Amino acid sequence: MEPSEAKRLKALEDENAKLKRLLAETMLDSEPLSAIGPRTMASALKDLLSKKW
């Protein structure tokens, strides 16, 4: 793999991680927060971020 390809791959991986975080936050915001406890919210966010999209 060329150095330029490795840099491009790293940039795409970083962008993908950022988009996953934004999606997880948006999905959590759409749920009624009063029905979810703090531990459940943290667990749900962790699960969403660990998914392979």
- Domain of 23, in residue numbers: 3-50
Q: How far is CA 9 from CA 17, 18, 49, in A?
A: 12, 14, 19
pTM over 0.75, yes/no: no
Count the domains in the chain: 1
* Residue pLDDT, tens place only, 4-32: 999 999 999 999 999 998 888 887 776 66
How is residue 53 annotated by DSSP?
-
User: How far is 26 from 48, CA to CA, in rounded Å?
Assistant: 11
Residue where the block lists tokens 């991986």: 13
